[in-house]
Amino acid sequence: MRTRWGKLFTLIRTRGGVFAAGVVFAILAFVALNYAMEPLSRSEYCGSGCHEMNISYQTWELSRHGTNPNGIRVDCIECHLPPRHHYIRHVVAKGYAGTKDVIMHLVGPEYDRETMRRRVLGHMDNDTCLHCHDGLDRALGPSPARQAHQAALAEPHKPENRCVTCHENAGHERHETLFSMEERTGP
């Protein structure tokens, strides 16, 4: 009985050239895709395209994830797309979100920030945060934060245990500003 591997080797022997070309093409396409995506993944790019995102960029910069004493920057895509190690899901979601954003910007209704904020809040699951913030339960002491985090880890599906229920402003600091963003940048 011929195994799957046996068939594969026969294929390579008889159609070696075509097979090799296919592999080379796949690798090149993969490299090109990553190369093309790299600039489109930077926060500067995400925040510079249009006025809708300008404000998101500024509120992100004011947040702890945009600016902190350790100089670490957590980019937009870290929270707004599936993690990069789920490569296919990441790329598909990126293409979808990017295309939708452009279409909505061009022909969509007027951008309603509060509606979008609510929509994003509704979809942001704990895994988005936990893939960086693991070990929350390892903090010492019986502090209220620790209790909250233990509950969040034990029963993540309860609405009150969602990370963004308590940390709504984690990605965008909308309150502690020196001036009103809307006023400064216009509608």
What is the contact surface with ligand HEC in residues (CB under 6 A)? 43, 46-47, 52-53, 55-57, 60, 64-65, 68, 70, 72, 74, 76, 78-80, 113, 116-117, 120-121, 124, 126, 128-130, 132-133, 136, 139, 144-145, 148-149, 152, 161, 163-172, 174
Q: Which is nearer to ligand HEC, 10 or 177 (CB)?
A: 177
Q: Which is nearer to ligand HEC, 91 or 153 (CB)?
A: 153
Tell the smallest beta-carbon distance from residue 57 to ligand HEC (Å). Answer: 4
Closest CA relative to residue 170, chosen from 117, 110, 92, 114: 117
Q: Which residue of this chain has its Cβ atom nearest to ligand HEC in the complex?
A: 171
The string of DSSP codes covering 63-95 is STTTS-TT-----HHHHHS--TTSHHHHHHHHH
Q: How far, in Å, are 1, 35, 92, 132 from residue 128 at the CA level? A: 47, 25, 17, 8
Tell the smallest beta-carbon distance from residue 166 to ligand HEC (Å). Answer: 3
Closest CA relative to residue 164, chosen from 80, 58, 41, 51: 80
Q: Which is nearer to ligand HEC, 25 or 134 (CB)?
A: 134
Task: For residues 144 and 112, give the distance between their C-alpha atoms in angstroms, rounded to a whole number.
Answer: 35
Q: Which is nearer to ligand HEC, 34 or 185 (CB)?
A: 185
Task: For residues 97 and 79, give the distance between their C-alpha atoms in angstroms, rounded to a whole number.
Answer: 13
Phi-psi region of 71 (alpha: psi -120 to 50; beta: other; left: phi over 0): left
Q: Which is nearer to ligand HEC, 12 or 120 (CB)?
A: 120
